[in-house]
Amino acid sequence: MADNKELVTVKNLEAAFAGESMANRKYLYFAKRCRELGADDVAELFEKTAEQETAHAFGHLNLLYPPEQLTVDKMLEMAIDGETYEYTEMYPEFRHMAVKEKNDAAVEEIDEQIAESKEHADQFTTMLEKAAKRFSALTKVEERHANRYRDALKKV
């Protein structure tokens, strides 16, 4: 398989993942509105379909992020990168344009998203630090066990 072919497929999988993910959220949003409008049967169809869109999105993720390559640290790091990009680059840029276009509702919503993305990044960072501490604590416990074992052997 040619390299560029692989690249195109990876890009296509990313685009397909984005599309399926969006379909999932959009259908859940539509379902909520259908229920408000009293169309429960349509809401149910949207909810059922949304679930299948999640399965489709996971299928693409499976290829983009093979599970055997995912460690807890790696996943937390990717999440931190994503949230940090959102609140330091993407949303500030969008906010700038929204101000320029005098879209006050968008500015207000973007400000909330900036605050929440930062909160998410902070929570993931705290969890990553906790995981690192747990790992070093575990290493220490193992060291202690090994030492005790060695001491016990010496006494024999």
- Phi and psi at residue 84, to the nearest 5°: -65, -40
State the minimum distance, in angstroms, from the CB of residue 55 to Fe ion. 8
State the minimum distance, in angstroms, from the CB of residue 60 to Fe ion. 10
**How far apart, in whole angstroms, are the C-alpha atoms of residue 136 and residue 129?**
11
56 binds Fe ion (CB under 5 A): yes
Tokens of 81: 């990168």
Instruction: Closer to Fe ion by CB, 20 or 95: give it.
Output: 20
**How far apart, in whole angstroms, are the C-alpha atoms of residue 51 and residue 23?**
10
120 binds Fe ion (CB under 5 A): yes
Instruction: Closer to Fe ion by CB, 84 or 117: give it.
Output: 117
Instruction: Closer to Fe ion by CB, 99 or 115: give it.
Output: 115
Tokens of 62: 């499976």
118 binds Fe ion (CB under 5 A): no
Contacts to Fe ion by CB under 5 A: 20, 53, 56, 117, 120
